[in-house]
Amino acid sequence: MTESLRLCTWNLHLGLELGTLLQAVTTYPDFRDLDLLALQEASIHSELEDARALAQALGPSYDCHQVTAHLLGTRAQANALVWNRERVRIDNTDTVLLPRVRQVRLPRAERTFLCALPQQQRIGVIGEGSIGGEALRFYVAHLDVLGLEYKREQFYRILSDLHNRPPTDLTILAGDMNTFRIRSRPSWASLTRAAEAEGLQDLTSEIRWTHSVRRVHFRQKLDAIWVKSIRPFQYRSWSLDIRGSDHIPVFAQVTFR
């Protein structure tokens, strides 16, 4: 039975500054003793998956699983999970395909707009196993950039997959939800309500921003970590303002009662 859990989620921006990311992992103490790391927009450099490069930087006890969602030109855009084998056991991995525009019902104006754009496949990567003898399921998600109802439908697809699988002692959902807004609009409260209906608690609601376009000082809160546990828990969450990606890493430390 585990007493604590240390999590991180990070969009790597295709690893365009992979050297900076690797230096951060080996320099900042926030990355020490991570149990689980969720990666979005991982890619492949010099025939080595970015997830593998980060796992190696974290230490010899770390392993990874990376799945390419689609190609941006010649670059792989992938989701990945990294775990500490000394604490976490991953027995099975799976993928949930998130719906494409023509596979869901959308308002006509939104559908017309999205259908005029290049389509990208989005996915959720799933790891199943155990930690401290408790059954674990870990989702790494990356929703599309555009669309209001469309992103909601993609998020609901993940929750539907979670709902239809056998229950586990501990379920984690982490990733880049692309919940862009201008001031308070649009409201993404429906995502929170849907997650809470499945017993998931957002550990990162107090974090102000996770994505920035530095040259125009534009910041957005796009990344999140949800946890569902059969045991009560306390947590703290924080982010680390470092360079290397247009997203910053988001952390959570969960302590079980």
Q: Determine contact, residues 128/88, Cβ cutoff 8 Å.
A: no
- DSSP state for residue 125 in the 8-state scheme: E
- Domain positions in the chain are 4-256
Q: Determine contact, residues 127/135, Cβ cutoff 8 Å.
A: no
223-229 and 250-256: which strand pairing? unpaired
- pTM score, whole prediction: 0.95
Residue 1: the pLDDT is 67
Q: Which amino acid is at 167?
A: P
The per-residue pLDDT string of the chain (257 residues; one tens digit each, 9 = 90 and over) reads 678 999 999 999 999 999 999 999 999 999 999 999 999 999 999 999 999 999 999 999 999 999 999 998 889 999 999 999 999 999 999 999 999 999 999 999 999 999 998 888 999 999 999 999 999 999 999 999 999 999 999 999 999 999 999 999 999 999 999 998 887 788 888 999 999 999 999 999 999 999 998 777 789 999 999 999 999 999 999 999 999 999 999 999 999 98
**Distance from chain centroid for Cα 15:** 15
* Strands of 36-42's sheet in order across: 62-72, 75-84, 36-42, 4-11, 250-256, 233-239
Cis bond leading into 186, ω under 30°?
yes
Residue 187: the pLDDT is 84
Residue 194: the pLDDT is 94
**Rg value, the chain, Cα:** 17
CA dihedral 21, 24, 30, 31 (to 10 degrees): 60
At 111, give phi and psi (nearest 5°). Answer: -60, -45
Burial class (CB in 10 A: 0-12, 13-18, 19+), 3: exposed
Query: 4-256 is classed in which CATH architecture?
Result: 4-Layer Sandwich (3.60)
